[in-house]
Chain A
């Protein structure tokens, strides 16, 4: 089973600041890495697929990069509505797995 480790676990950020979340895979997964945003009491929403492809309707301040074992989700100019927990997810091999999540709080 591929383990995904996100860092940090928690981040408190002021509006307009840049946020960087990393996801490291326990073995190479190519570009089969996706990012989701989950707000309290809501289901997760797809932000980025295949490491760097923005999903339809996602604001341009969200971007992704990386390949192999190291991946990054970047939120440029954080907005208050971006307060949420962010998860990475790998689909390279079964069972599919998720990172433990990174909670982003607005200061």
Chain B
């Protein structure tokens, strides 16, 4: 059973960079045909797809955030990461990492709340 776990600071100051890591167990991020994604959810609101990294290392980003996002992978640690620069209060949300098999998200992390505030 694949398990994902997000980690990172829960509080980030405005204009700084949000950095989160997703640790994967029960499967390798460098094998199979999977997309490893980041999704966020502001409190009381819906889900927003941020971007993804494929097993091969190729990436796709949401155009609404593209200029500020970097998603990367560390296969030696079986982790993938999100960096979101120049954050504002609008970036406050629960951030989820998830695996897409085919393209439906079949496994999700528990989510981590990131608050942007000075």
Contacts and interface: CB of A to CB of B under 8 A. Distances in A.
Contacts of B111: 43
Contact of A49 (B60, B63, B102): B102
B80 interface: no
A97 B103 CA distance: 12
Interface residues of B, number: 20
B105 A89 contact: yes
Given A96-B49, A98-B48, A101-B46, A43 B102 contact: no
A50 B48 CA distance: 19
B108 A32 contact: no
A7 interface: no
Nearest to A6: B46
A62 to B, nearest CB: 14
B27 to A, nearest CB: 15
Interface of A: 1, 32, 34, 36, 42-46, 49-50, 55, 87, 89, 91, 94-101
30 contacts: A32-B103, A34-B103, A42-B110, A43-B96, A43-B108, A43-B109, A43-B110, A44-B96, A44-B105, A46-B104, A46-B105, A49-B102, A49-B104, A49-B106, A50-B102, A50-B104, A55-B104, A87-B47, A89-B47, A91-B100, A94-B62, A95-B49, A95-B62, A95-B63, A96-B49, A96-B103, A97-B49, A98-B47, A101-B46, A101-B47
6 closest Cβ pairs, A-B complex: A91-B103, A49-B104, A43-B108, A34-B104, A98-B47, A96-B49
